[in-house]
Amino acid sequence: MSGYISYTDIVNNLDINPGDIVLIGSDITHLVLETLKNGEKFDSNIFIDSFINKIGTNGTLLFPTYNWGFCSGDTFDYNKTASLTGSLTNAALKRKDFIRTKHPIYSFAVWGKDRQLLFELENKSAFGEDSPFSYLIRSKGKMLLIGIDYQCSFTFVHHVEEMEKVNYRFMKDFTGTYIDERGHSSMRTYSMYVRDLNKGVVAHINPIGQKMEELGVSSLKKINNVEFYLIDLHRAFKVIQDDIRLNSAQNLYKIQKSEDDV
């Protein structure tokens, strides 16, 4: 796509429509630089509002607000623990019209119709069938990647891996101090389907992204020299599932040999 498009109008150049459920993963560094280069000052809240205005009150907008500190013993404070998944996600966390889901490792900032429904989820497992990832499939949600590739942001694959009980990951519990939305502190245990480090398992997700593009499940648009991938998550589930069942998950992970193996 040639010619500069105002960052406030980017959503109108994507297949995002009223009533859509959209999860946005992003690294907006390049987007901000392109905006400045073209005489505009980027405002995260205005950018977020452009998506809210497009999907409307029947839609739901989610941002990943992941933080892995709980895994290494850090206290999770529902109101204070920052997201480690980009500046746009922290901008969403600060807004009063967004609410955060409760999982201390894989939480989401949510606006819109299903905001309360997602807040009320009590999923112990980060990627389980009662998690926001499962909701995104049932609701035929979309994921938009902005300035970032599948490897860095398409955590959705781990939900499918857990549902398929792949043998290169296993369920691991993490227990730590949890301060809830009312400021009450308690010890809680949550779980995550983690990769098996003893086997040298490394997530290798870009190949499944390329497969989704070939099948029309993911589409790429370049706007203002920034890549925007839009993924149909309902259809993506089947593509990932097929790779696990029919292709030994070769498009999802690889084994990294240690020096002792060389």
Query: What DSSP string runs through the chain?
Result: --S---GGGGGGGSS--TT-EEEEEE--HHHHHHHHHTT----HHHHHHHHHHHH-TT-EEEEE----GGGGTPPEETTTPPPSS-HHHHHHHT-TT-EE-S-SSS-EEEEETTHHHHHT---SBTTSTTSHHHHHHHTT-EEEEES--HHHH-THHHHHHHHTT-TTEEEEEEEEEEE-TTS-EEEEEEEEEEE-GGGTEEE--HHHHHHHHHTTSEEEEEETTEEEEEEEHHHHHHHHHHHHHHSTTTTTEEEPPPGGG-
- Each residue's pLDDT, cut to its tens digit, for the chain (262 residues) gives 459 999 999 999 999 999 999 999 999 999 999 999 999 999 999 999 999 999 999 999 999 999 999 999 999 999 999 999 999 999 999 999 999 999 999 999 999 999 999 999 999 999 999 999 999 999 999 999 999 999 989 999 999 999 999 999 999 999 999 999 999 999 999 999 999 999 999 999 999 999 999 999 999 999 999 999 999 999 999 999 999 999 999 999 999 875 444 3
